[in-house]
Structure 1
Amino acid sequence: MAVSSHVRSNSYPSRQHPQAAHVDEQLNRLRSYEEASSSSSICQRLGNLQDLHDSLEKLIRLPVTPKALSQEQIGKLLDGSLKILDLCNVVKDALSQMKEGLLEIQSILRRKRGDLSGEVKKYLASRKFLKKSFQKVLKSFKTGQNKENESLVVFGEAEAVTVALFESLFNFMSGSKASGKWSLVSKKMSQSKATCEVNEFTRVDLEFQSEKSLKMEDVQNLESCIQDLEDGIDSLSKSLIKYRVSILNI
């Protein structure tokens, strides 16, 4: 399901169809993004990703679409959408754990008493959990790719772009540079090399890992960033569920 593929099945809605053309436009917009360097940019992409899946849901409901898909292909669409929902759940769980830790750290900083060192260790442990969980889900995507069914190409492109954006989100949250096979997909979405930016997450990490005093303002900014990401992931999850229901209704 390569992002660069532009093959279409003869039985599938052509690019001339308004809805298919709209999906193509959204895919091109998502592929043109550079590596995320701020919470506002990543939240904007999550919003655009939600719009993409809303459009895919409308594409699925076109009368011609069910005729172009076999039961096996429908099963692949369901499997792919479920795995993307798994990505959403992994990120939501990690964000929730980090936010809970940050709230406790803020409480300790305000009261100027409590086990600050212990809470910092718990917070950093939640970051490690995110990395392991995300890599596990990504591995399942790599082993489940389908590159042959032409009728699935547009959905395959959407799936590849979605996973690439989630990898970009993961790199943003962990302060990591893109690596591995899926980073090649991410690079096709970017016009510049991925860099390790000092964003809200990495700024607080640096303060935790150094001996300089932790700034309450930075912790609060990170908490606000996490809330925005949670809202974006939650909205995307709702669109994905609606998309899956439309697939099931075929």
Structure 2
Amino acid sequence: MAVSFHVRSNSYPSRQHPQAAHVDEQLTRLRSSETSSSSSICQRLSDLQDLHDSLEKMIRLSVTNQALSQDQIEKLLGGSIKILDLCNLAKDGLSQMKESLKEIQSIVRRKRGNLSAEVKKYLASRKFLKKSFQKVLKSLKTSQNKNNDALAVFGEAEAVTVALFETIFSFMSGSKACGKWSVVSKMMSQSIVTCEAEANEFTRVDLELQSEKSLKVENVQILESCIQDLEEGIESLSKSLIKYRVSVLNI
């Protein structure tokens, strides 16, 4: 017997399972929420953790077990692996940046050590990471149109999760408009002020280092806090995904 788990509420008959209705509500909130800042990204990570906890409970329902074919199970497992890989890529990048920032902050505070060398090391690392993030974003855009014919609710959950990681990698890469500096733009203070106003936590520190301004320790601390929050959010989501994956494997 086939069971429908379409995501739109009006697709459900009166016998809709309460757990499916709860997942539907969570997806509706996620579709309507925005991710324009680090705090909104962290909130969305938390919401996605809750969503996958709910999906894990749905997976364990006998009615869901009966509705899933072997091919659909394989697709759910493949989707979970893809998202876990994205989690690991993001965590590795964040960890690398955090360690470099700690060294820079230590040199600034102690006023000892080769700050210029450490800054060059950090910027080189950032350049490499940005290229890596752009490759990931390109691969996500290439694969995002592939159809997932597993139960619709699981397919949409995967889609909104992947979409968030597109936002995360773009956010860590920084604003495209302010990512590179020409000789002219460095000489135009108005351009620098405008760019800084539009910058996120990652770009703001990049700009201070690239433009050879005096690095503000408070901005480094803000970025470190942002990285810590993102790491914790991604780690929590990873744990929920692993639990979800185990339940799929147990079908």
TM-score bracket, shorter-length normalisation:
0.7 to 0.9
What residue in structure 2 maps to residue 27 of structure 1?
Answer: 27
Superposed, 1:30-109 pairs within 5 Å as 30-37=30-37, 39-109=38-108
Q: Which runs of 5+ in 1 are unaligned?
A: 1-8, 178-195
Give, in angstroms, the shift of residue 143 of structure 1.
3.5
Q: Is the 8 A contact 1:83 1:137 kept in 2?
A: no
Sort the Cα spacing of 1:203 and 1:135 in 2 relative to 1 into closer, same or farther, 3 A: closer
SS in 1 for 2:215: coil
Q: Is the 8 A contact 1:46 1:232 kept in 2?
A: yes
- Identity across the alignment (%): 77
Distance in 2 (alpha carbons) for counterparts of 1:221 and 1:76:
39
Q: Is the 8 A contact 1:98 1:123 kept in 2?
A: yes
What residue in structure 2 maps to residue 231 of structure 1?
Answer: 232
What residue in structure 2 maps to residue 17 of structure 1?
Answer: 17
Q: Which runs of 5+ in 2 are unaligned?
A: 7-11, 177-196
Distance in 2 (alpha carbons) for counterparts of 1:128 and 1:74:
39
What residue in structure 2 maps to residue 204 of structure 1?
Answer: 205
4+ residue stretches of structure 1 with deviation over 6 A? Answer: none
Distance in 1 (alpha carbons) for counterparts of 2:137 and 2:60:
28
Q: Is the 8 A contact 2:35 2:44 kept in 1?
A: no
Give, in angstroms, the shift of residue 145 of structure 1.
5.7
Q: Is the 8 A contact 2:34 2:40 kept in 1?
A: no
SS in 2 for 1:12: coil
Superposed, 1:145-160 pairs within 5 Å as 146-147=146-147, 149=149, 151-160=150-159
Distance in 2 (alpha carbons) for counterparts of 1:132 and 1:62:
43
Give, in angstroms, the shift of residue 129 of structure 1.
3.5
Higher mean C-alpha displacement, 239-248 vs 160-169:
160-169
Distance in 1 (alpha carbons) for counterparts of 2:198 and 2:160:
22
What residue in structure 2 maps to residue 219 of structure 1?
Answer: 220
Q: Is the 8 A contact 2:5 2:153 kept in 1?
A: no
What is the RMSD computed on CA atoms of the aligned residues? Answer: 2.3
What residue in structure 2 maps to residue 240 of structure 1?
Answer: 241
Question: Does 2:123 correspond to 1:124?
Answer: yes
Give, in angstroms, the shift of residue 170 of structure 1.
1.7
Paired positions, count:
223
What amino acid sits opposite 1:243 in the alignment? Y
Give the structure, 1 or 2, with the largest relative contact order (CA under 8 Å, sep 6 or more).
1
**Cα deviations by residue, 1:180-214 (Å, 9 ceiling, x for unpaired):** xxxxxxxxxxxxxxxx9422111111111112100
**Cα deviations by residue, 1:94-130 (Å, 9 ceiling, x for unpaired):** 0000000000001110121222222222222333333
Q: Which structure has the larger Rg over C-alpha atoms?
A: 2
Give, in angstroms, the shift of residue 241 of structure 1.
0.3
Distance in 1 (alpha carbons) for counterparts of 2:31 and 2:144:
22
Give, in angstroms, the shift of residue 157 of structure 1.
0.6
Give, in angstroms, the shift of residue 135 of structure 1.
4.1
Distance in 2 (alpha carbons) for counterparts of 1:222 and 1:81:
29
